Structure 1
Amino acid sequence: MTSDDRRSLDEVAAEFTDRRTPFARATVVRAQPPTSARAGDQALVTPDGQMFGFVGGQCAIESVRQTAVDSIADGEGVLLRVLPDGADAYPETSGALVAVNPCLSGGALEIFIQPVVPTPIIHVIGDKPIALAVVDQARLLGFEVRRADPDEAGGHDVSEPDAVMASIVATHGGDEAGAIRAALESGVPFVGLVASRTRGAAILDAMDLSAPERKRVHTPVGIDIGARTPPEIALSVMAQVVAAIRQGGIAVTHGTAAGADADAAGADAEGPRREVDPICGMTVVVTDDTVQCTDESGPHWFCCTGCRDTFVARSAGGLQAAR
């Protein structure tokens, strides 16, 4: 576990918030002796599994770590019950996730894990009534909004592109192709152009877009609700953005946006690496602080130093592997 005694958890959380770094706050709400944790103990966990604070012994930490990582990815809070193997504590399990840890020495814990994910950003380009109405509608829905004036220098630039969920081009003329290209090159997964069907198609046909890029551009943007006024058009635009989020067109992972079919998958999209402790069988999230040893068969990761020492002794012929 990573900790920093010089800073309080509130200071660490404030730093994460300022940097738009997603995290989960884990709070012990019930503890049964002889566990070392007490009600009210807290820890913060980042998407890569780094932990700050204290919520119990090493085996409890690993259960909290991987549950928190999943909670951040899902964006949903979790009540985690950490029980020793064979224990009959806290039997009521409705609505809770139960983790049974073979290496837990005793006692049971209930820990509430709440993800804190930065608000996604909607990037709006334009200063006409429809653009301003989209700004108002997006804010009403709880998005953070960045509006750019296309006539200003750098008006097409997408600030904090990793956090931008959608870029809406509502300039009604001007360099719309340049604004679309800037959004695509910044990796924005949903790009919407406010235009008629005929004009929008003509603009895209002249841009020589690849098939994946063309799939990310929506024009005329908005769900057809017969909208006529700027507020109605803004409602239809944001309805399509929300539908893309809720129905899988935009994947939001760790507080950043990415196209659901984006090429940049890799480890970040799948989450941090997980390995199985060869002694106790617990799944551990691999971080720089995870207990590890390497032998002729390669690297191995463990929930605690006790399991590692058992593995080393077993490899030397002193102990049998846990069954």
Structure 2
Amino acid sequence: MYDEFFSKASELLNEGVPFATATVVRAEKPTSGKPGDKAIITPTGVMHGWIGGSCAQPTVVKEALTALAEREPRLIRLSTDPHSEGRAGLIDLPMTCFSGGTLEIYIEPQFPLPRLVVIGNLPVAQALVQLGKAMNYNVIAVDPDNQGAGLEKANEIITDLAVMADKITHLSHVIVASHGHYDELALEHALRSKAAYVALVASKTRAEAVIDYLKGQGLSTEELAKLKYPAGLDIHARRGDEIALSIMAEIVQKRRTAEPLAIEALLADI
């Protein structure tokens, strides 16, 4: 079961899907759960694993979704007499059936690292890789020319743009800085993805030419509207590292001003 647990956790993290883990830390008979039993709960309320059967599952799912929405862990106790003994930091909740027993379960939300996908090997791309790592992003460098130099700090270096497309999730921030070498193909993949942010490092004239090309490739107005150019906030940047800083500042601004996920939205799909 543990192999399945960690395999599922790895799968969700790679897909950019947040989830909560639930671990039984204490159990009193009669209950089918025992200390060490684990489960993963997805944002849609699906449970993978075992924490004590149908008496505990509905409450654990609801509390897991609350933990995800509040971004805080919680320790819950399920029993037929939830008010028998209070303890600081412990949330007492009733069992949904009367089979008896008590379970204490630690629930912890898990959030994938935001992903930075950097395409190209210009000085600005190299600086983005370094800044992204310093800011705790999962950095993927895409270097079709396979030069490699300056990109070593990335979590992963890939050379195939088609492979890159499979790496882009809704938590991805994609920056194309290839100096015209493969702007069009890279953007075609990125703009058709679920990426949270897509930017092109290029002049306005160059960017407009790229957009005209992409229109000819059948990209919709909605897809093209996702493209940010020029990339980054206007801080009068000139050097590659300054441009990279302006781009990361824009990404932070976008992430921190995004509307938080409401608990009502999480509960709606159950």
TM-score interval (norm. to shorter): 0.7 to 0.9
* TM superposition shift of 1:170: 0.8
Amino acid at match of 1:50: M
Q: Classify 1:177/1:99 alpha carbon distance in 2 versus 1 (closer, same or farther; 3 Å).
A: farther
Amino acid at match of 2:59: S
Q: Classify 1:234/1:67 alpha carbon distance in 2 versus 1 (closer, same or farther; 3 Å).
A: same
Q: Is contact 1:80-1:99 (8 Å) kept? A: no
In structure 2, what is the Cα distance between the partners aligned to 1:197 and 1:85?
Answer: 66
Aligned length: 246
Q: Classify 1:170/1:62 alpha carbon distance in 2 versus 1 (closer, same or farther; 3 Å).
A: same
Consecutive unaligned residues of structure 1, counting only runs of 5 or more, are 1-6, 253-268, 275-323
Q: Which residue of 1 aligns with 2:143?
A: 149
Three-state SS of the structure 2 residue aligned to 1:192 is: strand
Is 1:137 matched with 2:134?
no
Is 1:215 matched with 2:207?
no
Three-state SS of the structure 2 residue aligned to 1:44 is: strand
Amino acid at match of 2:134: L
Q: Which residue of 2 aligns with 1:315?
A: none
Q: Is contact 1:125-1:171 (8 Å) kept? A: yes
Amino acid at match of 1:88: H
* TM superposition shift of 1:62: 2.1
CA deviations over 1:253-284 (Å, ceiling 9, x no partner) = xxxxxxxxxxxxxxxx867843xxxxxxxxxx
CA RMSD of aligned residues (A): 3.6
**Identical aligned residues as a percent:** 32
Q: TM-score, structure 2 length as denominator?
A: 0.72
In structure 1, what is the Cα distance between the partners aligned to 2:139 and 2:197?
Answer: 15
Which of the residues 131, 137, 159 maps onto 2:166? 159
More helix by share: 2
Q: Which has the larger radius of gyration?
A: 1
Q: Is contact 1:130-1:170 (8 Å) kept? A: yes
Amino acid at match of 2:83: D
In structure 2, what is the Cα distance between the partners aligned to 1:133 and 1:160?
Answer: 21
Q: Is contact 1:28-1:37 (8 Å) kept? A: yes
* TM superposition shift of 1:124: 0.9
Q: Which residue of 2 aligns with 1:65?
A: 61
Q: Which residue of 1 aligns with 2:97?
A: 103
Three-state SS of the structure 2 residue aligned to 1:45 is: strand
Q: Is contact 1:51-1:65 (8 Å) kept? A: no
Amino acid at match of 2:52: G
Amino acid at match of 2:47: Q
In structure 1, what is the Cα distance between the partners aligned to 2:256 and 2:80?
Answer: 38
Q: Is contact 2:21-2:41 (8 Å) kept? A: no
Amino acid at match of 1:12: E
Q: Classify 1:221/1:75 alpha carbon distance in 2 versus 1 (closer, same or farther; 3 Å).
A: farther
Which of the residues 37, 51, 54 maps onto 1:42? 37
* TM superposition shift of 1:134: 0.7
CA deviations over 1:180-227 (Å, ceiling 9, x no partner) = 111112332311111234543453355335342133211112122333
Three-state SS of the structure 1 residue aligned to 2:63 is: helix
Consecutive unaligned residues of structure 2, counting only runs of 5 or more, are 147-158
Is 1:52 matched with 2:54?
no
Which of the residues 191, 194, 201 maps onto 1:187? 194
Q: Which residue of 1 aligns with 2:106?
A: 112
CA deviations over 1:44-103 (Å, ceiling 9, x no partner) = 2242523313x33532222113333554x5482431434457742454676x66544452
Q: Which residue of 1 aligns with 2:184?
A: 177
Q: Classify 1:97/1:206 alpha carbon distance in 2 versus 1 (closer, same or farther; 3 Å).
A: farther
